[in-house]
Amino acid sequence: MADIDACKFLYLAEAVGAPGNSLRLVLDEASAGPKPTSYASVLDGFPAGDRAAIATVLSGSSPIEHSSDDRTFEVTWEGYVAFAITDETFALGESGSPADGSSLFEEFRESKFLDYIASSTHNHFKEERRHWSIYCLNHCIDVVSTTPPTIRLIQ
């Protein structure tokens, strides 16, 4: 988890619910790329009267992209109770988790998501369930499982 949490930015590249109730995620590390020489292609989508103000905001920005210098991780749960993938625009995250982006991969033993899963599923085996959250630029992933994930660097 520490290697992933050390990343500044992540993108969810792939999510596969595999046979046997396993879950495989591919996460791409991302970094700020070079500043574009022109923002014309972005500005074309805005009304002419707004373009100067938007160009001022964009002038200090860089695209955040996965490059050949960035790592790719595979995160696999061999069994899960439930998982959810939420568009980052709509995700609230867990209360008490850092909203400043200081942690991209967290484990919870108590959470709203665990409460929801406990109220909507059976726990026949009375195993402790844990909740992992991964915060990417494009999606937020929540996984409840009785076993921790396996993390492997694949690039």
- In DSSP notation, 65-131 reads E--TTS-EEEEEESS-SEEEEEETTT----TTS-TTSS-SEEEESS-HHHHHHHHHS--TT-PPPEE
Q: Is residue 41 in some structural domain?
A: no
Residue 53 within any structural domain of the chain: no
Classify residue 49: in a domain, yes or no: no
Q: Would 19 be classed as within a structural domain?
A: yes
**Distance (Å, whole) CA 155 – CA 148:** 22
Q: Could you say which DSSP state residue 43 is in?
A: H
Number of independent structural domains in the chain: 1
Q: Say if residues 5 and 136 touch (Cβ distance below 8 Å).
A: no
Residue pLDDT tens, the chain, 155 long: 789 989 999 999 999 987 788 999 999 999 998 888 888 888 888 999 998 999 888 888 888 999 999 999 999 999 999 999 999 888 877 765 655 557 899 999 999 999 999 999 887 777 899 999 999 999 999 999 999 999 999 98
In a domain, 144, yes or no: yes
DSSP assignment letter at 48: G
In a domain? residue 27: yes
Residue 93 lies in a domain: yes
Range of the domain at 92: 2-32+66-153
Would you state the pLDDT for residue 12?
Answer: 97
Assigned token pair, 89: 């625009």
Q: Tell me, what's the pLDDT at 100?
A: 52
